[in-house]
Structure 1
Amino acid sequence: MLRSGLVTCQSLQLSSCLADLGDLIMGSTIAKCAVADLGIQWAGWVLAAVFKTEKFYDLAGSGTFILLAHLSRLWGGGGFLRQNVQTGLVTAWGLRLGTFLFMRILKDGQDRRFNNVRDSPGTFFVYWTIQAVWVFVTLLPTLMLNSEKRNTPLGTRDYIGWTLWGVGFATEAIADQQKWIFKRDTNNVGKFIQSGLWAYSRHPNYFGEILQWSGLWLSASSAMQGPQYLSVVSPLFVWFLLRHISGIPILERQALKKWGSDPGFQDYLKNTPVLWPWPKF
Structure 2
Amino acid sequence: MTALPSLLAVGLGFLVLMMVAVWLLSLRLRNAGIVDVAWSAAFTPVAVAYAWLGAGWAPRDALLVALVAAWSLRLASYLYVRVRNEHPHEDSRYAALRAHWGSSANAKMLGFFQVQALAALVLTVPFALIALNPTPAFAALEWVGAALTVVGLAGEALADRQLARFRTNPANKGRVCQDGLWAYSRHPNYFFEWVIWCGFGVFALGSPNGWLGLHVIPLMFYVMRYGTGVPYAEASSLRSRGDAYREYQRTTNVFIPGPRRNLAI
Structures share fold, TM-score greater than 0.5: yes
Question: Does residue 138 of the first structure (1) align with residue 120 of the second (2)?
Answer: no
Match of 1:174 among 158, 162, 165: 158
Greater radius of gyration (CA): 1
Give the alignment of 1:255-270 within 5 angstroms. 255-260=237-242, 262=243, 264-270=244-250
Give the alignment of 1:78-117 within 5 angstroms. 78-109=56-87, 110-117=90-97
Per-residue deviation, 1:55:
4.6
Give the alignment of 1:245-260 within 5 angstroms. 245-260=227-242
Give the alignment of 1:1-281 within 5 angstroms. 28-109=6-87, 110-117=90-97, 120-148=105-133, 150-151=134-135, 153-225=137-209, 228-260=210-242, 262=243, 264-280=244-260
Contact 2:147-2:199 within 8 A present in 1 as well: yes
Contact 2:204-2:213 within 8 A present in 1 as well: no
Per-residue deviation, 1:140:
1.3
The amino acid of 1:205's aligned partner reads N
Per-residue deviation, 1:73:
0.7
Per-residue deviation, 1:25:
7.9
Q: Distance in 2 between matches of 1:138 and 1:144?
A: 11
Deviations 1:126-148 (A, max 9, x none): 33123212311222101222133
Deviations 1:97-130 (A, max 9, x none): 1111101221222322211345721332233123
Tell me the SS of whatever aligns to 1:223. Answer: coil
CA RMSD of aligned residues (A): 2.2
Contact 1:63-1:94 within 8 A present in 2 as well: yes
Normalising by structure 2, report the TM-score.
0.87
Q: Distance in 1 between matches of 2:245 and 2:42?
A: 38
Residues 179 and 215 of structure 1, relative CA distance in 2, 3 Å threshold = same
Aligned residues: 253
Normalising by structure 1, report the TM-score.
0.83
Tell me the SS of whatever aligns to 1:201. Answer: coil
Q: Distance in 2 between matches of 1:69 and 1:259?
A: 40
Q: Distance in 1 between matches of 2:4 and 2:248?
A: 52
Contact 1:30-1:144 within 8 A present in 2 as well: no
Unaligned runs of 5+ in 2: none
The amino acid of 1:249's aligned partner reads P
Report the identity percentage: 28
Q: Distance in 1 between matches of 2:121 and 2:5?
A: 17
Q: Distance in 1 between matches of 2:241 and 2:5?
A: 53
Q: Distance in 1 between matches of 2:9 and 2:130?
A: 14
Deviations 1:184-226 (A, max 9, x none): 211111122112111000000011111111111111210122x
The amino acid of 2:116's aligned partner reads Q
Q: Distance in 2 between matches of 1:179 and 1:47?
A: 30
The amino acid of 2:7's aligned partner reads T
Residues 267 and 55 of structure 1, relative CA distance in 2, 3 Å threshold = closer
Per-residue deviation, 1:275:
0.4
Residues 25 and 158 of structure 1, relative CA distance in 2, 3 Å threshold = closer
Per-residue deviation, 1:51:
3.3
Per-residue deviation, 1:86:
1.1
Residues 188 and 60 of structure 1, relative CA distance in 2, 3 Å threshold = same
Contact 2:253-2:260 within 8 A present in 1 as well: no
Contact 2:185-2:255 within 8 A present in 1 as well: yes
Q: Distance in 2 between matches of 1:27 and 1:235?
A: 21
Contact 1:169-1:212 within 8 A present in 2 as well: yes
The amino acid of 2:122's aligned partner reads V
Residues 59 and 266 of structure 1, relative CA distance in 2, 3 Å threshold = closer
The amino acid of 1:127's aligned partner reads F
Q: Distance in 2 between matches of 1:279 and 1:27?
A: 45
